[in-house]
Amino acid sequence: MKYPDGTHARLGDRVRFSNGDEGVVVFSIDTDEYTPAFPKAEWAYLKRGVMVRTDQGALVHYEDPNVNVISLVERAKHT
């Protein structure tokens, strides 16, 4: 998945929804990035996109941000 600005969503990215809520990308099917808490074996059935855990604890699956619902706030630091 890409953000509206064209950059790829990555594991750990901080994002903002159009309503002002924020969250963190907890896995990305498109970049094949998962964490032990969200393993590929349990989530790959979604086929594409990213999962965001909101600051309130909800999980939101996004396949396509074309409606400008989600934007990048801070890129995750990958080592």
- pLDDT tops 60 at residue 22: yes
Q: In sequence order, what E strands does the chain have?
A: 14-17, 22-28, 50-54, 59-62, 70-74
pLDDT higher for 65 or 3?
3
pLDDT higher for 22 or 64?
22
Tell me the average pLDDT of the chain: 89
Q: Where do the H-state alpha helices sit in the chain?
A: 40-43
7 within domain boundaries: no
Domain region containing 33: 14-74
- C-beta neighbour count of 51 within 10 angstroms: 20
37 within domain boundaries: yes
Give the span between the Cα atoms of 13 and 15, in whole angstroms: 6
40 within domain boundaries: yes
pLDDT band at 66 (very low <50, low <70, confident <90, very high): low
Q: Which residues contact 70 (CB under 8 A, 6 or more apart)?
A: 3, 15, 16, 17, 18, 52, 62
Number of domains in the chain: 1
- pLDDT tops 70 at residue 32: yes
Q: What is the pTM of this model?
A: 0.88
